[in-house]
């Protein structure tokens, strides 16, 4: 009898402890749902071509979770699509501040540079991308072409030599 | 659960982004790489490497006429015009409907100095693209330019540049025409316009540089010696002229020269010294109208005589390719001791018309009248015709000259009642190019030599042999030297003269 009382007591105690642990999680549940919905909603808006709505949703998401860098990068691309280039650059720079080797953000900066016609930024982004992905011939070709078009022929020649395997 | 979902969504998003990026990332095709490599090497001045790379690009796809044409341009730039022609022809064959390419091929023959072939190419283009105004104007302008008919060429090119404001070829040609008409400021404006449209146009940059130099003051020093003996002593004079002359371009319309010469006459054991101060001017209100003049103040030592010689010449190019000239001059007559010591002067008026028959024959007819201060007159006429065998930069011409004149009275100088000469001659001239061997710019026609040999028979049946040689060469960009020699030998008259010149541009 005593043994059964002990068993039940243990079970009850475990149940109580479990309940006590589980209870604080309940208030967070609405917050998690909102992030999920915001991200889904932002992507859906992007797919629909409604970039301004996507941007609003991404921003709301990042207000609550500023370290969601993938979402921040997606916001950068949405801003580019909406033609808000300087804001997009800020987002990519923000990601790169935390992750300097993030190639996707460098590509975002490259695209932003192209959209805004900032030649120095284009070269800088391509140089960094070639450094991070030295085997990507397309990026090296773009860099060589950019340097050539800017009259930096000697620098372009270095990359051309790599492309030609000289 | 939801947290995991968000993380999964972000991962899917990243995968999606990567997939999209991977789809965007295309391996550059080898032809593009070689083409960029060739263009870059060209910009670096590594021409041989650029040519090899162009050839590699073309080997990958022999139908790419754009790369072939670019290689043609590069070969032109490196002076390998014959190779360039092959490339332009190949490109034109691959793109027979590309008018620009066809016109380039025709131009390339012009750059190779194959003018008749170039005109034939233009005619072929006009047959294929009938009624193409721009090609018609370019063909007519080029033909006139190559024949030296600058006014006609300019008129055609000015109409063409209205149709094609960015046509670098026509802008360059207009610049060359302005340079040949001694209007450097206009040439410079055209070169600057061309360089704004095509910053890499090497010849325009060189033309601009040389044209700016032409406007700077110039100082020339020269010495000439002349010895004429014959006709029973009636033409018997020997003198040396040492001089210095400065030149200023006031504007495209007006230029001036101021010089001093010292003349030393040798009459047997006697000698006579004269000093000459000369002011010359050139006035060119239009490219086709020129007025040149001079005024010389002379002082003869020992004789204590002061004189003024003057002259003016007016030239007008008609739209029908004729050049009309009229000139007048009043000069002291330097033929023998008597004419110099007695101070005989001559007032000479001449008028001429010159033109061309077809692409090879040039002709000039001149009539002249002279009045001498010792109550004598002379009337003369001359016909000159030449047949062009070679074109620039080598010129080989066969010449004929018939000259006749008669004096009213017999005098101490050579003054027969009637006298005529018939001359046949051959002349060869070669331009070296400047400052490199392959640049033949109107601003720098200085590096050249010419050789002339002629045989004349006069109205008395006496034969004359005449030889001439002339060399001009730029020692350094600012310093030119020149040398000319002339010799006539016959049983009745001998002459020789030599002149050396050195000029410095400030």
Write out pLDDT tens, residues B228-248.
Answer: 999 988 899 999 999 999 988
pLDDT of res. B3? 54
pLDDT of res. B267? 85
Q: What is the mean pLDDT of residues A129-144?
A: 92
Query: Which of B2, B8, B14 is the mutation pick for testing A, counting most A CBs within 10 A?
Result: B2
B368-378 residue pLDDT tens: 999 999 999 99
Mean pLDDT across chain B: 88
Reading the block at residue B274, the tokens are: 């004269």
Residue A95 touches chain B, beta carbons under 8 Å: no
pLDDT of res. B9? 52
Bridge partner list, B450: B429, B470
Region of B99 (left: φ > 0; alpha: ψ -120 to 50; beta: rest) is alpha
| Half-sphere exposure (Cβ direction) of B468: Cα atoms closer than 13 Å | 13
Residue B442 touches chain A, beta carbons under 8 Å: no
Of A77, A107, A164, the CB nearest to B33: A164
pLDDT of res. A147? 94
Of A33, A107, A141, the CB nearest to B28: A141
User: Using a CB-CB distance cutoff of 8 angstroms, which residues of chain A are in contact with residue B18?
Assistant: 104
pLDDT of res. B447? 84
Q: What is the mean pLDDT of residues A118-141?
A: 91
pLDDT of res. B116? 87
Reading the block at residue B454, the tokens are: 């002629």
Per mean pLDDT, which of A118-122, A152-156, B349-353 is the most reliable? Answer: B349-353
To the nearest whole angstrom, how far is the Cα of B205 from the nearest Cα of chain A? 18
Sign of the torsion angle spanned by Cα atoms B208, B209, B212, B214: negative
pLDDT of res. A20? 54
Cβ-defined contact of A68 to B34 (cutoff 8 Å): no
Give the separation between CA B349 and CA B371, rounded to whole angstroms. Answer: 9
The end-to-end CA distance of chain B, in Å, is: 88
Cβ-defined contact of B36 to A141 (cutoff 8 Å): yes
Domains of chain B, first to last = 218-505 (2.40.160.40)
pLDDT of res. B202? 80
Residue A30 in this model has a pLDDT that exceeds 80: no
Q: Are B401 and B425 in contact (CB under 8 A)?
A: yes
Residue B43 touches chain A, beta carbons under 8 Å: yes
B250-288 residue pLDDT tens: 888 899 999 999 999 998 888 899 999 999 999 988 878
The end-to-end CA distance of chain A, in Å, is: 89
To the nearest whole angstrom, how far is the Cα of A8 from the nearest Cα of chain B? 31
B325-367 residue pLDDT tens: 999 999 999 999 999 999 999 999 999 999 988 878 999 999 9
Give the separation between CA B252 and CA B259, rounded to whole angstroms. Answer: 21
Cβ-defined contact of A163 to B5 (cutoff 8 Å): no
Reading the block at residue B308, the tokens are: 């003024």
A75-94 residue pLDDT tens: 999 999 999 999 999 999 99
Cβ-defined contact of B40 to A40 (cutoff 8 Å): no
Let me know how long chain A is. 166
- Dihedral over alpha carbons A32, A38, A41, A47 (to 10 degrees): -120
User: Using a CB-CB distance cutoff of 8 angstroms, which residues of chain A are in contact with residue B10?
Assistant: 39, 68, 70-71
pLDDT of res. B395? 87
Residue A159 touches chain B, beta carbons under 8 Å: no
Nearest CA in chain B to A149: B40
Of A74, A104, A160, the CB nearest to B36: A160
Query: Could you tell me which residue, B41 or B114, shows the higher pLDDT?
Result: B41
pLDDT of res. B22? 45
Give the separation between CA A58 and CA A82, rounded to whole angstroms. Answer: 13
Least confident of A2-11, B62-71, B82-91, B134-143: A2-11
Nearest CA in chain A to B8: A36
Residue B464 in this model has a pLDDT that exceeds 90: yes
| Half-sphere exposure (Cβ direction) of A59: Cα atoms closer than 13 Å | 11
B177-198 residue pLDDT tens: 998 888 888 999 999 999 998 8
CA angle centred on B499, ends B252 and B310, rounded to 5°: 50
Percent of chain B whose predicted confidence (pLDDT) is above 90: 54
User: Using a CB-CB distance cutoff of 8 angstroms, which residues of chain A are in contact with residue B36?
Assistant: 141, 144-145, 148, 156, 160
pLDDT of res. B434? 65
Dump strand ranges (E) for chain A: none
Reading the block at residue B232, the tokens are: 């029973």
Identify which of B474, B481, B391, B471 has the alpha carbon closest to the alpha carbon of residue B434.
B474
Residue A3 in this model has a pLDDT that exceeds 60: yes
User: Using a CB-CB distance cutoff of 8 angstroms, which residues of chain B are in contact with residue A43?
Assistant: 9, 13
Residues of A (11-40) whose Cβ lies below 8 Å from B: 29, 32-33, 35-36, 39-40
Q: What is the mean pLDDT of residues B497-504?
A: 95
Query: Could you tell me which residue, B85 or B294, shows the higher pLDDT?
Result: B294
Query: Could you tell me which residue, B438 or B301, shows the higher pLDDT?
Result: B301
Q: What is the mean pLDDT of residues B452-458?
A: 96
Of B5, B27, B44, the CB nearest to A153: B44
Bridge partner list, B243: B222, B261
Q: What are phi and psi of B28, to 5 degrees?
A: -65, 140
Q: Are B291 and B305 in contact (CB under 8 A)?
A: no
């Amino acid at each position: 009898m005593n043994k059964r009382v002990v068993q039940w007591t243990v079970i009850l105690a475990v149940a109580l402890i479990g309940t006590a642990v589980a209870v604080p999680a309940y208030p967070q549940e609405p917050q998690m749902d909102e992030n999920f919905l915001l991200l889904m909603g932002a992507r859906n808006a992007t797919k629909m071509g409604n970039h301004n709505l996507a941007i609003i949703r991404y921003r709301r998401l990042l207000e609550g979770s500023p370290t969601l860098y993938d979402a921040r990068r997606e916001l950068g691309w949405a801003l580019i699509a909406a033609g808000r280039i300087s804001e997009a650059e800020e987002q990519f720079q923000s990601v790169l501040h935390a992750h300097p080797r993030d190639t996707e953000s460098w590509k975002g900066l490259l695209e932003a540079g192209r959209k805004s016609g900032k030649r120095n930024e284009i070269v800088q982004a391509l140089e960094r991308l070639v450094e991070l992905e030295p085997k990507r011939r397309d990026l090296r070709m773009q860099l060589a072409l950019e340097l050539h078009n800017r009259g930096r022929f000697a620098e372009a020649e270095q990359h051309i030599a790599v492309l030609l395997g000289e | 659960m939801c947290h995991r979902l968000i993380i999964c969504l972000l991962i899917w998003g990243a995968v999606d982004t990567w997939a999209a990026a991977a789809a965007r990332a295309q391996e550059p095709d080898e032809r593009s790489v070689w083409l960029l490599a060739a263009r870059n090497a060209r910009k670096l001045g590594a021409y041989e490497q650029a040519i090899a790379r162009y050839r590699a690009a073309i080997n990958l796809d022999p139908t790419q006429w754009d790369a072939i044409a670019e290689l043609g341009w590069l070969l032109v730039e490196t002076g390998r015009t014959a190779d360039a022609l092959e490339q332009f022809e190949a490109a034109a064959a691959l793109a027979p409907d590309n008018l620009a390419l066809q016109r380039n091929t025709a131009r390339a023959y012009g750059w190779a100095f194959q003018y008749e072939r170039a005109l034939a190419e233009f005619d072929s283009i006009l047959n294929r693209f009938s009624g193409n105004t721009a090609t018609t104007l370019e063909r007519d302008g080029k033909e006139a330019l190559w024949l030296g008919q600058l006014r006609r060429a300019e008129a055609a090119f000015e109409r063409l540049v209205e149709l094609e404001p960015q046509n670098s070829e026509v802008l360059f040609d207009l610049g060359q025409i302005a340079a040949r008409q001694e209007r450097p400021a206009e040439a410079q404006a055209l070169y600057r316009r061309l360089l704004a449209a095509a910053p890499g146009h090497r010849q325009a940059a060189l033309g601009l540089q040389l044209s700016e130099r032409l406007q700077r003051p110039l100082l020339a020093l020269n010495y000439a010696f002349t010895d004429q003996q014959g006709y029973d002593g009636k033409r018997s004079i020997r003198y040396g002229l040492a001089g210095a002359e400065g030149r200023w371009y006031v504007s495209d319309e007006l230029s001036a020269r101021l010089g001093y010469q010292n003349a030393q006459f040798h009459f047997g054991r006697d000698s006579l010294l004269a000093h000459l101060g000369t002011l010359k001017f050139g006035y060119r209100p239009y490219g086709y109208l020129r007025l040149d003049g001079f005024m010389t103040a002379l002082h003869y030592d020992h004789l204590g005589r002061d004189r003024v010689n003057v002259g003016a010449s007016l030239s007008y190019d008609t739209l029908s390719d004729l050049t009309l000239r009229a000139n007048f001059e009043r000069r002291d007559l330097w033929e023998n001791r008597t004419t110099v010591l007695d101070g005989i002067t001559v007032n000479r008026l001449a008028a001429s018309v010159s033109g061309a028959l077809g692409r090879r024959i040039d002709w000039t007819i001149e009539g002249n009248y002279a009045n001498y201060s010792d109550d004598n007159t002379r009337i003369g006429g001359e016909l000159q015709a030449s047949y062009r065998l070679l074109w620039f930069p080598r010129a080989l011409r066969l010449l004929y000259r018939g000259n006749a004149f008669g004096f009213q009275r017999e005098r101490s100088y050579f003054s027969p009642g009637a006298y005529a000469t018939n001359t046949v001659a051959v002349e060869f001239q070669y331009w070296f190019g400047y400052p490199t061997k392959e640049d033949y710019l109107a601003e720098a026609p200085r590096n050249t030599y010419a050789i002339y040999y002629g045989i004349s028979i006069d109205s008395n049946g006496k034969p004359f042999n005449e030889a001439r040689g002339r060399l001009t060469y730029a020692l350094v960009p600012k310093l030119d030297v020149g040398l000319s020699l002339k010799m006539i030998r016959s049983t009745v008259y001998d002459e020789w003269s030599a002149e050396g010149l050195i000029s410095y541009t400030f």
